Amino acid sequence: MAHIEGSELVARLSADQLAYLESVGEERHFEENEILFSEDGSADEFHVIVSGRVGLELSGPRMGPLVIQTLGRGDLVGLSWLFPPYRWAWRARARVATTTIAFDAAQVREQCDRDVSFDRAFTSIVAREALRRLQATRTQILDLYEVPK
């Protein structure tokens, strides 16, 4: 998977595990502002960004889409596919023309059920990514609410 070098997936999975992923992944192209997935939609696939940028958005009843975080090359887009009820917590929108590798979530979950080491590796990748995003959001909130001295 040379086209997603630098991704946590490439760094943490064995050659056999990467070969399996290649068999359930396909390249996708998104135009600027195109939606990859929508909040509360079925989390039936996840993506790794090859090129471009994807914004994770949150909407409320009295506001338009708010970009919570922007992801780039090598980043994993979508974490909800691994945990029931397999529904997206955010909307993901291409900020510019973007290419990803999309992976079939059901097939990857089935492989996790069959292969404990694959499951452990994937759960670790998703947990690390969730922690990284939580820390980035914390930093954004601190910057937003910092009281001037």
pLDDT in tens, 64-102: 788 889 999 989 999 999 999 999 999 999 999 999 999
Q: What is the dihedral sign for C-alpha 106, 109, 113, 114?
A: positive
Higher-confidence residue of 1 and 81: namely 81
| Amino acid 68: pLDDT | 86
Contact 57, 66 (CB under 8 A): yes
Q: Which domain holds residue 86?
A: 2-145
CA gap 77, 87 in Å, rounded: 14
| Amino acid 1: pLDDT | 55
Work out the mean pLDDT of the chain and round it to a whole number: 88
| Amino acid 145: pLDDT | 74
Q: How far apart are the first and last CA of the chain?
A: 49
CA gap 16, 5 in Å, rounded: 16
Higher-confidence residue of 2 and 141: namely 141
pLDDT single digits (tens) 23-62: 999 999 999 999 999 999 999 999 999 999 999 998 877 8
- Domain of 72, CATH number, reads 2.60.120.10
The CB-side HSE value for 86 (13 A sphere, CA atoms) comes to 12
Residue 14, token pair as written in the block: 């064995």
b/e sequence 59-91, b meaning 16+ C-beta within 10 Å: eeeeeeeeeebebebbbbbbbbbbeeeeebebb
pTM for the whole structure: 0.86
| Amino acid 148: pLDDT | 66
| Amino acid 134: pLDDT | 86
Number of domains in the chain: 1
